[in-house]
Amino acid sequence: MSVLRRVAWYWLLPVAVAAWELVTRAAQATYFPPPSQIVARLRELWFSGPPSRAFLTDEAVADLVPSLSRLFTGWSIACAAGVLLGVVLGRSSWLSGLVEPLVHFGRSVPPAALLPVFLVLFKVGTPMQLASIVYGVVWPVLINSMDGARHVDRQYIETGAVYRLSRWHRLTRIILPAAAPKIFAGLRLSVSLALIMMVISELVGSSEGIGHRMLEAQSQFDIPAMWAGIVLLGLLGIGLNAAFLGVERAVLGWHTSARTGDA
């Protein structure tokens, strides 16, 4: 599988970009500019600044910093709340039975459909955007944490009881490590959802951010700038996913080793 991924990155991706360049130049479609034009506009907008500022332009500081700060803040709040509530619900069968129908109803409501509600509650600005991100992100974390905490091997719990571990030690040394693979599965899903909700929230009444810049480019018929925003979001998604995978491997290295040993 790793060989196939390397082939895709080093061979298939450049071929696809080259084909895109040739086809769009031949078609001369207004709404589908060639990649070379998109990359040039991307550099002009965000990465043509001075070296002392890591080549970031004023637009990059005005757009990227607010967007990323909202993304990480909303994601952190959602993950903390999701893990905490998920573990509590997963370890309490009666509480889970009481609340789980509400959880499944909440996750079934599209987050974008609640943007008018968040606008009424929080008005236009960062609180509304954070609320949108938190609501869109919390569900996979919550549900995976519930599932992980619920299915901890009973022998582990009984062993902790035999050694008379306190509730805190049982939580930190037995329940959380056993549920960690499921929790991290939910966290990984939440990263891409946080990026999506960041953009959606910035398309509604925002005066800054990547989503606002894309909406502004659309209103000005600056098609290369609009595509530059799409490409930038794709690169951010790849970078965030790669960073999270690195953290996941570091934290769950014991789990991978255990599965390899069992195999």
* pLDDT higher at 8 or 168: 168
Q: Which of 1-15, 97-111, 176-190 has the lowest mean pLDDT?
A: 1-15
pTM of the model as a whole: 0.86
Is residue 32 within 8 A of residue 163, CB to CB? The reply is: no
Looking at residue 2, what is its pLDDT?
Answer: 60
Q: Report the chain's mean pLDDT, rounded to a whole number.
A: 86
pLDDT at 154 over 50: yes
| Segment 190-211 mean pLDDT | 87
Looking at residue 54, what is its pLDDT?
Answer: 80
Looking at residue 34, what is its pLDDT?
Answer: 92
Looking at residue 61, what is its pLDDT?
Answer: 86
Residue among 184, 187, 200, 157 nearest 254 (CA): 184
Looking at residue 145, what is its pLDDT?
Answer: 94
Looking at residue 3, what is its pLDDT?
Answer: 60
The confidence band for 7, taking pLDDT boundaries of 50, 70 and 90, is low
Above pLDDT 70, what percent of the chain?
92
The confidence band for 88, taking pLDDT boundaries of 50, 70 and 90, is very high
Which tens digits make up the pLDDT trace of 128-149?
899 999 999 999 999 999 999 9
Looking at residue 77, what is its pLDDT?
Answer: 96
* pLDDT higher at 196 or 9: 196
Which tens digits make up the pLDDT trace of 11-44?
777 888 889 889 988 888 888 999 999 999 999 9
Which tens digits make up the pLDDT trace of 169-194?
888 888 888 899 999 999 999 999 99
The confidence band for 260, taking pLDDT boundaries of 50, 70 and 90, is very low
